[in-house]
Amino acid sequence: MISAGLDIGSRTIKLVIVDDGTIVHYRVIENSFKPLEITTSLLEGNSYDTIYATGYGRHLVSRHLNCPEISEIKAMALGAYALFPGCRTILDIGGQDTKAISLDKNGRLHKFEMNDRCAAGTGRFLEIMAMALGYALEEFSQSARASRRAEKINNMCAVFAESEIISMVSQGADRAEVGLGIHQAIARRTITMLNRISLEPELVFVGGVANNSCLREILEKQLQVQIKVPEDPQIVGAYGCALHGLKEAVKNQSC
């Protein structure tokens, strides 16, 4: 049984194809103002028995491709638990939102927190701060990681934070120290969210921001837990989607 999962995110679109639960193909491409065209091209040349969609654009894709959908929370829970069976907490930081998800010992959803009305601390926030400091995104993380001192950042609204750091740099602040201050501010905000769901190890970090080694190290140090990061943390939602499709197909065959 071959099952495909689509995660239509605000910054990227992810496709994962599994054959009896094993990933046999995956791809991540940048999203644009034409998500349906990108999704259609992503699927070209691939065959599958069932397909499910999740993510911001799942309703659009579901209507046009006539495929069922599941929530991002459910998809992340399924994907993370399949990759790390000891997972009890999931931190998902994507392009436009942050989610903290708590699972029980059997991988079932216990509770979750989500900031879906503000981009503070998300991938887009990091992109804006990196551009304001004149860094490429990867360079931004590496520079902050190497800094021995951090400037204090008071604003987490992207607009106000950008103005604050531009003002700091114009007054002579070291941009690497400003960068570390930004990462520390995001970590504080993230830890508050994790504490609201009563963080329990194992903690699995997914989404594109999980590739940010500076933020990951700050979180590990402040939380005093080892954070697990999948080989490609961006595809966990699409993987969970594909696994759900597989489970539903098997259930329908047995009816």
Reported as a single tens digit per residue, the pLDDT across 192-250 is 999 999 999 999 999 999 999 999 999 999 999 999 999 999 999 999 999 999 999 88
Pairing of strands 203-206, 227-228: parallel
pLDDT at residue 117, rounded to an integer? 63
Q: How many CB atoms lie within 10 A of CB 20?
A: 10
The residue ranking higher by pLDDT, 20 or 79, is: 79
User: What average pLDDT does the structure give for the chain?
Assistant: 93
160-165: average pLDDT: 90
pLDDT at residue 120, rounded to an integer? 79
Concatenated DSSP letters for 13-61? Answer: EEEEEEETTEEEEEEEEE--S-HHHHHHHHHTT---SEEEEESTTHHHH
Nearest to 68, CA basis, from 254, 250, 252, 248: 248
pLDDT at residue 21, rounded to an integer? 87
What does the pLDDT look like over 94-124, one tens digit per residue? 988 899 999 999 999 999 999 866 777 888 8
24-41: average pLDDT: 92
Alpha helices in the chain (DSSP H): 35-43, 58-65, 72-83, 123-132, 137-146, 158-170, 175-196, 213-223, 236-254
pLDDT at residue 116, rounded to an integer? 60
CB 102 within 8 A of CB 117: no
pLDDT at residue 88, rounded to an integer? 97
Largest pairwise CA distance in the chain: 70
What does the pLDDT look like over 163-198, one tens digit per residue? 999 999 999 999 999 999 999 999 999 999 999 999
